[in-house]
Amino acid sequence: MGIHVAELTVNLGPRSYKIFLGNGNLADLGGLCKSLDFGKSAAVITNPKISGLYAAAAESSLSSCGFNVTRVEIPDGESYKNSETLNHIYGALIDAGLDRKSFIVALGGGVVGDISGFAASTYLRGIPFVQVPTSLLAQVDSSVGGKTGINHHLGKNLIGTFYQPRLVLIDADTLLTLPQREYLSGLAEIVKYGIVCDADFFDFLFDNKEKLVNKDTETVLAAISNSCRLKASVVENDEMEAGIRAVLNYGHTFAHAVESLTSYGEFLHGEAVSIGMVRAALLSEEKGYSTVKDTARIINLLREFNLPTGLPDFPTQAYCEVMMRDKKVRDGGINFVFNKGIGRCIIERVNDWSFLLGHL
C-alpha cells in the first residue's frame, strides 16, 4: 500500500466522497474502488503521454482487484476538450459494453478530468467516476468539486454538468514528471486559496516558497492537502455556485480576458490567473479593502514562483470588449472578487467598467 498522508471528505450528503492523498498511492486505486459499490468493468480515460507514464500502474491495481479494464486514449491538449473527443469516448464505452454499474477513471490533468467527468455524467444517464489527477492544477482544483465540461467553438467550458466523482486519488509522485512550467502554473491556484480564505496558509506558502519551487515532498503534500480542504469546504457550502463558490473565481475575470486576448496560446491558465490576481489585488487596494503591503506580499510570492504578474499590452478597449463577453457578465455588470487584506474576500457587483479598466 502507498502511504496515505491525508484523507479528506467532501461532505455533500448522498454525494459525499473521499480524497486520498499520498506518495506512491496509485497502487491503491483498485482496493479503493473495490470498497465502493461499483460493477466489474472500468474504463481508464487518459492521453498518450500520461498513458505511457501511469496507465499500467493504475490498470494493474484495478485488474488485481478483479476489475475488467478498458483503456480509452484521447489526444493531449485543451483543443481536444470538445464534442468530437467526447463522441470518441462514448463510442469506446459502448464498444467495451460498459453498463450502468461500470465506472470511469479519469487519469490525467484537468482536460482529461473535465471531459471524462462529463462523459460519466451523461453516458447511460450517468455512471460513477473516479478522479486520478496528475497535474498540480487538477490535484488542487479541477478534480474536486464536480464541475465537468467541454469547450464549444464559441467559448470555453460552455457545455457542462455538476457531477461529483465518487473518489479522488491524488498520488503526488506523479508531479515528478510534470513539466516545471505546468507545476508552477498550478501553484497560482494554491496561492489563490490563501488569498481568499486562509491567511495562515498564505503565510505557510510564503515561508516555504523555495521548498515549493523545488517540489519538496512534504511541503507539496501539505500545500495540496490544504488546498483540497479549502476547496472542499467552499463546495460544501455552495455546490452549484449559487453564491459563495464564486470566491474561487478570484483573479479569473482578468485571467480569462488575458487568455482570450492571447488566443490561449501564450499563457498557461495558472499564469493568466497570476496576472489576474495582481489586478484584483491592486483594485482591492484602490477600494481600501487591502494595503500596499498586502499587494506587495501577493506580488512577491507570485514572482518567487516565477509566475507572470504584468498585464500584457493590449488597448484598454480590447480588454473591455473581451471582459464584456465573459459568461459571468449579467446586465452589463460583473460580480468581482476583491481580497480583504489577505485571507478574506468579498464579492461585489461592479457596473463601472472604467473602475476595472482605469489604470491599464
Ligand X SMILES: NC(=O)c1ccc[n+]([C@@H]2O[C@H](COP(=O)([O-])OP(=O)(O)OC[C@H]3O[C@@H](n4cnc5c(N)ncnc54)[C@H](O)[C@@H]3O)[C@@H](O)[C@H]2O)c1
| Binding stretches for ligand X (CB under 6 A) | 47, 49-50, 53, 76, 78, 81, 108-112, 114, 134-135, 137-138, 141-142, 145, 147, 157, 174, 177-178, 182, 269
Q: Is 13 helix (H, G, I), strand (E, B) or coil?
A: helix
Q: Closest by alpha carbon to 262, among 336, 330, 312, 298?
A: 312
* Count of alpha carbons within 13 angstroms of residue 64, beta-carbon side: 12
* Catalytic residue of the set 23, 25, 47, 249: 249
- Identity of the residue, 78 or 326, whose beta carbon is nearer to ligand X in the bound complex: 78
Residue whose CB is less far from ligand X, 154 or 292: 154
The cell 449559487 sits on which residue?
242
CB of 100 to ligand X, least distance (A): 24
Count CA atoms closer than 13 A to 104's CA, side-chain side: 33
Q: Verify whether residue 88 is a known catalytic residue.
A: no
Cα 175 to chain centroid, rounded: 15
- Smallest distance, ligand X to C-beta of residue 308, A: 16
Question: Considering beta carbons, is residue 252 or 279 the nearer one to ligand X?
Answer: 252
Instruction: Give residues with Cβ within 8 angstroms of 262, minimum separation 6.
Output: 312
152 is catalytic: no
Kindly give the residue spans of alpha helices, DSSP state H, lying in 175-216.
180-197, 199-207, 209-213
Q: In what order do the strands lie in the sheet with 17-23?
A: 3-10, 17-23, 167-171, 129-133, 103-108, 41-46, 68-73
3 state SS of 184: helix
Reply yes or no on whether 252 is catalytic.
yes
Q: Which of 78, 236, 241, 286 is catalytic?
A: 241
Write down the least CB distance from residue 26 to ligand X, Å. 11
| Candidate list 25, 71, 73, 147, residue with the active-site label | 147
49 catalytic per annotation: no
Tell me how far CA of residue 234 lies from CA of 171, 191, 240, 264, 303, in angstroms: 23, 16, 11, 28, 27
Strand partners, 170: 21
Count of CB atoms situated within 10 Å of the CB of 319: 22
- Min dist CB 163 to ligand X, Å, is 10
CB 106 within 8 A of CB 45: yes
C-beta closer to ligand X: residue 143 or 225: 143
Of 34 and 49, which has the nearer Cβ to ligand X? 49
Q: How far is the CB of 307 from ligand X (least distance, A)?
A: 14
Q: Which residues pair with 169 in a beta bridge?
A: 20
Please state the closest distance from residue 192 (CB atom) to ligand X, in A. 11
CA 351-354-355 angle, to 5 degrees, is 75
Strand partners, 67: none
When the beta carbons of 51 and 102 are compared against ligand X, the nearer one is 51
- Respond yes or no: is residue 259 known to be catalytic: no
Catalytic pick among 231, 239, 285, 297? 231
Select 110 or 128, whichever has its Cβ closest to ligand X. Answer: 110
Choose the catalytic residue: 252, 259, 271, 339.
252
State how far the Cα of 139 lies from the Cα of 128, in Å rounded to an integer: 19
Asked if 125 is an active-site residue, the reply is yes
> Of residues 59, 189, 259, 271, which has the active-site annotation?
189
In the residue annotation, 147 being an active-site residue is answered as yes
What is the smallest separation between the CB atom of 81 and ligand X, expressed in angstroms? 5
* Helix, strand counts (H, E) of the chain: 15, 11
Annotation says 269 is catalytic: yes
Catalytically annotated residues: 125, 147, 189, 231, 241, 245, 249, 252, 256, 269
